[in-house]
Amino acid sequence: MGRMASNRFHQGPGPSQRQLRVGELIRRTLSDVLLRGDVHDPDLNRHSITVGEVKASPDLKVATVYVMPLGGHDAEDALAALRRNTRELRHHVAKDMTLKYAPDLRFVLDETFDRMDDTRRMFADERVRRDIEAGDEAGEEDRDEGAVLARDARDKGQDGPDDDRR
């Protein structure tokens, strides 16, 4: 009996399969609702909003929705419009889902795009490119050395590092 209780909630390091599935369903539903302009708010319909990701809580009662307006312009205005219309958006989500409870939607700006831009800028830096190229050359030397060792071992009739046949 104790075993059933301990398995009631996912204990792993990441979200459960059900959390991922519900989050993706909410993401698709919200994307469709926003694309069709089903919400009766001209301020919200003025924005083209990307729903990047939805993370559902383990009990599926709260869904954090990561959004970004197209081009990143007027992000705060779009976020305010979404928050004003949370009840109507939640109603649309509940209508398309077969969950016991419609999750509470919490809207947050998606900063993934900003992090990607920072990463691109970092890789474009001359010092970083020089370090990467130096690392590639060292990796090629290691691969060449490994190939030589394997060939020498084969020539001597021994199993090389890549030869698992026995």
Please indicate, yes or no, if residue 119 is contained in any of the structural domains. Answer: no
Is the predicted pLDDT of residue 165 greater than 50, yes or no?
Answer: no
Query: Are residue 37 and residue 65 in the same domain, yes or no?
Result: yes
Please indicate, yes or no, if residue 165 is contained in any of the structural domains. Answer: no
Query: Are residue 143 and residue 68 in the same domain, yes or no?
Result: no
Model confidence pTM above 0.75:
no
Find the mean pLDDT for residues 113-124.
76
- Measure Cα distances from 45 to 7, 58, 82, 146, 158 in Å: 43, 31, 10, 60, 71
Predicted confidence at residue 135, as pLDDT, reads 72
Total count of domains within the chain = 2
What is the per-residue pLDDT across 33-82, written as a single tens digit (0 to 9) for each? 999 989 989 988 888 999 999 999 999 999 999 999 988 788 899 999 99
pLDDT band at 104 (very low <50, low <70, confident <90, very high): very high
Q: Name residue 103's amino acid.
A: P
Predicted confidence at residue 81, as pLDDT, reads 93
- Measure Cα distances from 126 to 41, 121, 130, 133, 140 in Å: 48, 10, 6, 11, 21
Please indicate, yes or no, if residue 117 is contained in any of the structural domains. Answer: no
Query: Are residue 6 and residue 77 in the same domain, yes or no?
Result: yes
Query: Are residue 44 and residue 82 in the same domain, yes or no?
Result: yes
